[in-house]
Amino acid sequence: MDDRPSRRFMPRTLATRALGVGRPPSTALTPSIDMSTTYARDPDNGYSSGHVYGRKDNATVQQAERQIAELEHARDAMLFGSGMAAAAAVFVALPPTHIVAPRDMYWGLRVWLLSAHRYGHEVSFVDMSRLDEVRSALRPGKTGLIWIETPSNPLWTVTDISAVADLAHRAGAMVCADSTVATPVLTNPLVFGADIVMHSATKYLNGHSDVVAGALASADRSELWLRIKDMRDQQGAVLGSFDAWLLTRGLRTLDLRVKEQSRSAALIAERLLGHPAVGAVLYPGLPDHPGHAIAARQMPNGFGGMLSLRLRGGAAAAITAAAQVQLWRRATSFGGIESLVEHRASIEGEGSPCPDDLLRLSVGLEDPNDLYRDLADSLDLLTRM
């Protein structure tokens, strides 16, 4: 390993070599970052370290993958350059098939699935909270995949993962769960029978709104999983090592962040319930939410940091309320430490199934009383208009 030169080289050579490679790590408590795109061969021409080239084997990326695999009780995890890249990898690796997907789901993925016929897939959209609809959409022997998202964006519809997994497996289909909103702190879809779990790591996993990344984790090394891995390694939709390092840092506080964000979201949801400007509060933690009982079983540590409000005054009131807040930032995305408010229909655009009176709230780590007061002040103004 020690390749310090045995004779004196010119300064330019010494500088280029940066004092050699493969030196033993220090006793640092903080993970070191491995920026290398290539790794040294052994004296016998082998690669005993397992690290050959940065696209496939970067050690910092692998460290974040191991963290995610542990958190999801998975055999293996894979990181991608974005959540969309992770999700698309599943659909593209799948041989042409019939897919059942939820009507209420992340908009970007819904748009992707609307043109999945390019890859030979046929997609049926169903209300995933209604098992009878799922059952009648399934074509035994023909359906290859059920895609679920729970709680789903932006209505927070809850899917019974074990019931859907049971239906899927009996029909010979696999289940992939987009668990971006639940995070591994609140739900482990693989434990409930899903085959693959997907995350936009851009959201809670990283948690600081400074990395775009995606993850997949699998219960086993299935044929589909190995195809996805080959595709990622060959097509190269990988995550950079610095982003992986930031993600590793974010993951270290995931549990604390998500539990606190869930507590704050529950408090804000309850306090907004009776507000005269608010027609409905959508949050799986509220007892009258249609998916509450399933969520209570599937999400034992909290109901998440996301909620939506439907305003009595319609789209205009929703947009005005978002414009009047001072503490909440008006932006898309979610899962960061700063609270965000968004008029969701505006960003989804034409053809969006999102109600236009809906405001999506991502609860951050500010004091929940400050967050509530700021929203309530804005809503109070509406009722006086």
Catalytic residues: 55, 106, 178, 203
Nearer to ligand PLP, 121 or 344 (CB): 344
Please, what is the minimum distance in Å from the beta carbon of residue 84 to ligand PLP?
Answer: 4
Nearer to ligand PLP, 115 or 383 (CB): 115
- 106 sits near ligand PLP (criterion: CB under 6 A): yes
Q: Which tokens sit at 209?
A: 């709104």
Please, what is the minimum distance in Å from the beta carbon of residue 237 to ligand PLP?
Answer: 11
Nearer to ligand PLP, 169 or 208 (CB): 208
Q: Is the CB of residue 190 less than 8 Å from the CB of residue 210?
A: no
Which helix (H) or strand (E) segment holds residue 243: the answer is: helix 241-251
Stretch that binds ligand PLP, among 36-44, 175-183, 189-197, 287-295 (CB under 6 A): 175-183
- 84 sits near ligand PLP (criterion: CB under 6 A): yes
Please, what is the minimum distance in Å from the beta carbon of residue 131 to ligand PLP?
Answer: 22
Q: Partners of 199 in the beta sheet?
A: 215
Backbone angles phi, psi at 98, to 5 degrees: -100, 130
Please, what is the minimum distance in Å from the beta carbon of residue 108 to ligand PLP?
Answer: 6
Q: Decide: residue 362, CB within 10 A, 0-12 exposed, 13-18 middle, 19+ buried.
A: buried
Nearer to ligand PLP, 106 or 328 (CB): 106
Question: Binding residue for ligand PLP (CB under 6 A) from 67, 180, 188, 339?
Answer: 180
Stretch that binds ligand PLP, among 3-11, 102-110, 224-232, 320-328 (CB under 6 A): 102-110
**Closest listed residue to residue 174, CA positions, set 155, 154, 148:** 148
Contacts 24+ apart (CB under 8 A), 34-39: 34/58, 34/59, 34/60, 34/241, 35/60, 35/241, 35/242
SS3 content of the chain, % helix, strand, coil (to 5): 40, 15, 45
| Site string (184-223) toward ligand PLP, x via CB under 6 A | ----------------x-xx--------x-x---------
Nearer to ligand PLP, 83 or 368 (CB): 83
Question: Binding residue for ligand PLP (CB under 6 A) from 104, 149, 243, 342?
Answer: 149
- 159 sits near ligand PLP (criterion: CB under 6 A): no
Task: Enter the DSSP assignment of 43.
Answer: T
| C-alpha torsion angle, residues 215, 135, 111, 82 (rounded to 10) | 0
- 108 sits near ligand PLP (criterion: CB under 6 A): yes
* Residue 235 three-state SS: helix
Query: Residues touching ligand PLP: how many (CB under 6 A)?
Result: 16
- 60 sits near ligand PLP (criterion: CB under 6 A): no
Stretch that binds ligand PLP, among 173-181, 218-226, 298-306, 308-316 (CB under 6 A): 173-181
How many CA atoms within 13 Å lie on the side-chain side of 79?
Answer: 34
Q: Is the CB of residue 303 less than 8 Å from the CB of residue 262?
A: yes
Pairwise CA distance, residues 34 & 59, whole Å: 6
- 344 sits near ligand PLP (criterion: CB under 6 A): no
Nearer to ligand PLP, 68 or 138 (CB): 68
Q: Verify cis geometry, omega within 30 degrees of 0, for the bond prior to 11.
A: no
Question: Binding residue for ligand PLP (CB under 6 A) from 153, 157, 159, 241?
Answer: 153
Pairwise CA distance, residues 199 & 197, whole Å: 7
Binding residues for ligand PLP, rule: CB under 6 A, are 82-84, 106, 108-109, 149, 153, 178, 180-181, 200, 202-203, 212, 214
